[in-house]
Amino acid sequence: MVPFILLVVIIGSVLFHIFTPWYSTPIASNWSNIDSTIELTFWMTGGVYVAVLGFMTYCVIRFKNKDGRRAAYEPESKKAEVILTVLTTIGVAGLLAPGLIVWDDYVSPPEDAMPIEAMGQQWYWSFRLPGEDGILGTTDARNINADNPFGMNKNDPNGQDDILIEGDDLHLEHDKPVKFLLRSIDVLHNFYVPQFRAKMDLVPGMVTFYWIRPTVAGNYEILCAELCGVGHHAMRGFVQVDESDAYKDWLNEQSTFKALQEQARLDNNKALAFNKSN
Amino acid sequence: MSESIIPESELEEVELYHAKSWWTEKVFTQDAKLIAIQYGLTAFAIGFVALVLSWFMRIQIAFPELSIISEGTYYQFITMHGMIMVVYLLTALFLGAFGNYLIPLMVGARDMVFPYLNMVSYWTYLVAVLVLFVSFFTPGGPTGAGWTLYPPQAILGGTPGQESGIILMLVSLCIFIVGFTMGGLNYVITILQARTRGMTLMRMPLTVWGIFTATVLALFAFPALFVSAVMMLFDKILLTSFFMPALVEFGENLTYGGGSPILFQHLFWFFGHPEVYIVALPAFGIVSDLISIHARKNIFGFRMMVWAIVGIGALSFIVWAHHMYVSGMNPYFGFFFATTTLIIAVPTALKVYNWILTLWRGNINLTIPMLFCLGFIVTFLNGGLTGLFLGNVIVDVPLSDTYFVVAHFHMVMGIAPVLVILGAIYHWYPLITGKMLHDGMGRFHFWVTFVGSYLIYFPMHYLGFIGVPRRYYEMGQTEALYTSSAADLNVFITLAALAVGFAQLVFIFNVFWSAKKGIVAEKNPWNATSLEWQTPEQPPIHGNFGKELPVVYRWAYDYSVPGAEDDYIPQDVPNEDVSLADGYSELGVEKT
């Protein structure tokens, strides 16, 4: 019975992997190399799993206790140990080397990647695009108040044309690389879109990053992937990947920091005038 | 097999302290064996709480529409489940319980070298457990920061238990570490100083090697947790900014500034990764011995096994940041930590090979301890191989913070070590109580636990592949990821988890029932060679050995030695006392 159940476990695991309906979502970014590295890791580790457990099951069948059997006395075998060490080392290196090459790519954003800020706070996402100058203005968590939810430095000329998106979807242009600059104003968060395969924590007090090139137009859900309090599971958002024209239309509808400040000033004045007239 | 000259004893034995009252004999005892049982019962009691918490979590995940617990409670339960299981159950059980019971017996000592300190260690541990447990009943309840307690979240308002739960958690950890340090020093010094004559380091059973190395790791690793707990307490209570940058809490600017949340993560994982091996190394050692004993064959490649334990222990201190690949630390750390992490796979793989090569050409008794060993190899191999996914930095990126991670670490440092613990209890129960555990209940317990756990965690990896994040109170509407079939899979996993939980109740019943009604164990029922089975009494009494301490003539793995009549030679039997099989003139030499 013991070897039978072991065989069921081994064969069942392999069949489960082959026929599983639960596997990665269709990829929508340039990181197909990550998927290939996973695939490679699966084949190698799967092979080891079957070989090692298969041999173990064989031993359980072949060397099961019975009358008159006596175990061999063999303290060690240098040859076997050397061969196994070398083989394992080669296998591990074969996994590590391609992995590090892809990682190098992951941490080296291309020069032309557009910087886009994703800002996290309990428990929603906001975004900031650099505007026409292509540069994001500086920020400071100490500047944050009701009129300046992003904590923009009002004197920074680079920030005036920044496009601010609060409580709405982020749009990306199809096939254009973006470098996400990740900023949190309260606790750790993680900007994770499963279809992009990429993720990174947002850490208050610093700016982190990763880059992608969206390759498939569509609408993708953002999931926070770092525990951030009781609303963690509800901290969602959407990224819409548009073809070029649709993207430009969307971009034209967005407001800059300057325009929003102007709007806020007018609203305040109106409120003041209204208060006075009463 | 080789004998060497046994040194003369150089010092007189020192008389042990003998208890003078029932209280000092049974409660405030200084006998390591009783302290071990105290540690074990306390760890199991609090571990059972953590097990029950997991049932609520699983029911919430599978049936979110029931809302059996609220968001805040869910996060409190995952936090307490994780911390209790890792620190208060596994660490305490392997080092406090198995360490105390087995070290003096296996190295041929009468007790730990500092029995009084040993007693204080247990009572300090008990205080730590009580402080942690009390947090369930304080205003706001226990902390819900996740067992990793990452700041700033752990001490801010969006996290449950920030009123007092987090403070009690940090205080409890500090007390635990104080208690552990007393016990840990005792284990290390006992092993180094109190071994009996002839018990060279390379004759110690691998169980002792595993516990020894794990204790050394813990003595180096826990201080990092201690300082991070103290600093976070300061950040929480005194509003210092060790881990707190300038930030905003629900629209309000706080006075913190200049601290680094990532610093905490480095300190935490500098402890946290060795912690994995603090749990794993004793399990490696114990499983090596159990496989050898129940396969009636010497452990294959003993010296390699020792060096692998020591090597893994050393390497475990330079891999910690593989828990932080997507933490926002300098991305170039990824190259270094991925390399060290995958290097550690080599000695670990060798251990797996050697366990199986021990079975090869053995004489395998499929006893309950052996079944647990086979279950351990399956789950540990599975969890070890998925470690190659998560250790390889780029592969970790999509899988990090998903259910793949949950499945991986439960397989490799949850189920695998627990199977060893359970196997070890079936193995040493006759020594501890003088009775055998009930075989039928034991086999039922094994199969449900092993197959059930595999059914929980193997499919769970695939939820991670889809991208389902861990630590979600509910997934809600996420069609692209969380299809109805994935939700069904979660129902299946929950049912498996409840079945495994039920099997543990059978085990608990068996432990208490067999202590009263079990079959009386024969002396040394497994025909083992190591010293704990060679005591004059079974169970051994205070002082362990009779008038004379045993003298050790051989390693612990003389099973099926050619020329010996029996298929085992205890460590304290010299060659001339071994009865020879027919046709042999001496051990290993056939008559010509």
B483: CB partners within 8 A, 6+ apart: A21
Tell me the residue range of the domain where B194 lies.
Answer: 24-204
Dihedral of the alpha carbons of A203, A204, A210, A216, in degrees to the nearest 10: 100
Q: With an 8 Å Cβ cutoff, are A188 and B261 in contact?
A: yes
Residues A94-104 as b/e (b if ≥16 CB within 10 A, e otherwise) read ebbebbbebbe
Q: Is the pLDDT of residue B1 over 60?
A: no
User: Distance between CA A260 and CA A144 in Å, rounded?
Assistant: 15
Q: Give the one of B156, B327, B393 whose C-beta lies nearest to A187's C-beta.
A: B156
A74–B298: do the CB atoms touch at under 8 Å?
yes
Q: Do B300 and A76 touch (CB under 8 A)?
A: yes
Q: Using the beta-carbon criterion (under 8 Å), do A226 and B382 form an inter-chain contact?
A: no
Summarised one tens digit per residue, pLDDT across range B502-537 is: 999 999 999 999 999 999 999 999 999 999 999 999
Cβ of B301 under 8 Å from any chain A Cβ?
A: yes
The rounded distance, in Å, linking the Cα atoms of A264 and A150 is 14
Our count of domains for chain B comes to 2
Tell me, yes or no, if B16 comes closer than 8 A to chain A by beta carbon.
no
Structure tokens given for B389: 């996914």
Chain B contact set for A240 (CB, 8 A): none
**What pLDDT digit, counting tens, does each position of B224-283 carry?**
999 999 999 999 999 999 999 999 999 899 999 999 999 999 999 999 999 999 999 999
In a domain, B555, yes or no: yes
pLDDT tens-digit map of B436-458: 999 999 999 999 999 999 999 99
In this complex, do B400 and A225 lie within 8 Å of one another by their Cβ atoms?
yes
The region, left, alpha or beta by phi > 0 then psi within -120 to 50, assigned to residue B361 is: left
Give B115's pLDDT tier (boundaries 50, 70, 90). Answer: very high
Residue B563 lies in a domain: yes
Residues in B closer than 8 angstroms to A224, CB to CB, are 469
- Relative to beta strand A170-173, strand A236-242 is parallel
Taking the Cβ of residue B583 and every Cβ of chain A, the question of whether any pair is shorter than 8 Å is answered with no
pLDDT of B4 = 64
* A199 interaction partners in chain B (CB closer than 8 Å): 326, 397-398, 400-401
- Enter the DSSP assignment of B471: S
Chain B residues with CB under 8 Å of A138 CB are none
Inter-chain CB proximity B339 and A100 less than 8 Å: yes
The three-class DSSP label of residue B260 is: coil
- DSSP-based three-state secondary structure for B364: strand
pLDDT at site A167: 82
Residue B3: the pLDDT is 55
Q: Which of B162, B183, B204 is the last residue of a domain?
A: B204
Largest CA distance in chain A: 108
Does the distance separating the beta carbons of B395 and A49 come in below 8 Å? no
Q: Is the pLDDT of residue B191 over 70?
A: yes
| Residues near B309 by beta carbon (within 8 Å), at least 6 away in sequence | B206, B209, B210, B213, B281, B284, B285, B351
What are the CA-CA distances from residue A262 to residues A165, A268, B448 (Å)?
16, 10, 68
Q: Is the pLDDT of residue B184 over 90?
A: yes
| Cα–Cα nearest to B242, from B226, B255, B254, B228 | B228
Closest C-alpha among B98, B106, B130, B103 to residue B114: B103
Is residue B321 in a domain? no
Q: Is residue B331 part of a domain?
A: no
The answer as to whether B561 is a domain residue is: yes
Among B204, B235, B270, the domain-final residue is: B204
- Interface check for B454 against chain A (CB to CB < 8 A): the answer is yes
* pLDDT per residue as tens digits for the range A248-268: 999 999 999 999 888 888 888
A190 closest CB neighbour out of B359, B401, B567: B401
Does the structure show a pLDDT above 50 at B349? Answer: yes
Contact A72 B389 (CB under 8 A): no
Range in B16-25, B405-414, B544-553 with the lowest mean pLDDT: B16-25
DSSP structural state of residue B135: G
Walk me through the domains of chain A, giving residue ranges and CATH numbers. Answer: 2-63+76-106 (no CATH), 114-270 (2.60.40.420)
| Distance between A73 CA and the closest CA of chain B, angstroms | 6
Average pLDDT of the segment spanning B103-111: 96
Instruction: Please tell me the distance in Å from A80's CA to the nearest CA on chain B.
Output: 10
Ranges of chain A whose pLDDT falls below 70: 278
Instruction: Specify if B503 maps to a domain.
Output: no
CA distance B530 to B556: 5
Our separate counts of H helices and E strands in chain B read 16, 4
When CB atoms are compared, the residue of A13, A74, A141 closest to B248 is A141
Nearest to A53 among B345, B381, B386 (CB): B381
Q: For residue B275, what pLDDT is reported?
A: 96
Rounded CA separation B487/A205 (Å): 37
The mean predicted confidence, pLDDT, of chain B is 95
B462 vs A contacts (CB less than 8 Å) = 20, 22-23
B interface test, pick of A18, A27, A70, A78 with most B CB neighbours within 10 Å: A70
Distance, CA of B138 to CA of B160 (rounded, Å): 12
For residue A241, give the nearest of A232, A233, A250, A252 by alpha carbon: A250
Predicted pLDDT of residue B8: 81
Question: What six digits make up the tokens of B44?
Answer: 């199991």
pLDDT attached to residue B303: 94
Q: State the Cα–Cα distance between residues B31 and A141, nearest whole angstrom.
A: 58
Q: Do A199 and B401 touch (CB under 8 A)?
A: yes
In a domain, B287, yes or no: no
**Interchain CB distance below 8 Å, A22 and B465:** yes
Q: Which residues of B315-351 are buried (b: 16+ CB within 10 A; e: fewer)?
A: bbebbbbbbbbbbbbebebbeebbbbbbbbbbbbbbb
Closest Cα in chain A, distance from residue B249 (Å): 6
pTM above 0.90, yes or no: yes
Which of B175, B204, B233 is where one domain is finished? B204
Q: Lowest mean pLDDT: which of A264-278, B191-205, B452-466, B542-556?
A: A264-278
Q: CATH number for the domain including B151?
A: 1.20.210.10
What are the DSSP calls for B31-82, one per residue?
-HHHHHHHHHHHHHHHHHHHHHHHHHHHHHHH-GGG--S-HHHHHHHHHHHH
Q: Which of residues 76-115 of B touch A (CB under 8 A)?
A: none
> Is any Cβ of chain A less than 8 angstroms from the Cβ of B61?
no
Provide mean pLDDT across the span B551-558: 95
Express as a percent the part of chain B with pLDDT over 70.
Answer: 99
Beta strand A178-184 with A208-212 is: antiparallel
**B510 within some domain:** no
Q: What is the DSSP string of A149-212?
A: TT-B-TT-GGGTT-EEEESS-EEEETT--EEEEEEESSS-EEEEEGGGTEEEEE-TTS-EEEEE
Query: If you count residue pairs, one on A and one on B, with CB atoms under 8 Å apart, how many are there?
Result: 330
- Rounded to the nearest angstrom, the minimum Cα separation between B562 and chain A is 7
